[in-house]
Amino acid sequence: MTLFMSALPPEQMREMRKTAQQAARPAASLADRWEALHEQAAELAALAQLAPEQSATKSNELAAHLHHAQDWQRELAWQGIEDIGAMMQPGLAALKVITSRGMDANAPALALWREFYSAREGVLDMLVTDRRANPRS
């Protein structure tokens, strides 16, 4: 009998199992994850000295878009949201270290904000194909 051991740490394996379980019910999970990302984005905006967003797409709007999306769009949205999270978590942690040392985090926070914004727009554009014709207000 051959035993296989994972090269990944247990914490990462738990997170991967959690993600796989959430993928079984993508619309609700994606909407929850989307909302969590926007909470992180609000924190990031403050570090970048930006005004809070007024019309960010909320999780219920994302859920409506997902309801009308095709399977391939849902899968890409899931991956896009996971990728955004993978960028935001270490980025915010690094920014908090910078500020805890009394350094100015404005420029790196603004760079991360731009990456977040661009990635978020990519997810939304992929889900809502007529978005360019009818942009959000």
Give a yes or no: residue 114 inside a domain: yes
At which residue do the structure tokens 């404005």 appear?
106
Give a yes or no: residue 14 inside a domain: no
Give a yes or no: residue 101 inside a domain: yes
- Cα–Cα distances (Å) from 10 to 6, 16, 21, in that order, read 9, 10, 16
C-alpha 105/C-alpha 62 separation (Å) is 31
Name 103's Cβ contacts closer than 8 Å, sequence gap at least 6: none
Is residue 4's pLDDT more than 90?
no
Q: Span 9-22, mean pLDDT?
A: 70
65-93 pLDDT, tens digit per residue, is 888 888 888 889 989 999 999 999 999 99
- Look at the chain and report how many structural domains it folds into: 1
Residue 97's domain comprises 26-127
C-alpha 26/C-alpha 67 separation (Å) is 10
Give a yes or no: residue 135 inside a domain: no
- DSSP 8-state symbol, 54: S
131 and 137 Cβ atoms separated by less than 8 Å: no
Name 80's Cβ contacts closer than 8 Å, sequence gap at least 6: 119, 122, 123, 126
Give a yes or no: residue 91 inside a domain: yes
pTM: 0.73
Of 17-21, 26-30, 32-36, 132-136, which range is least confident? Answer: 132-136
Give a yes or no: residue 19 inside a domain: no
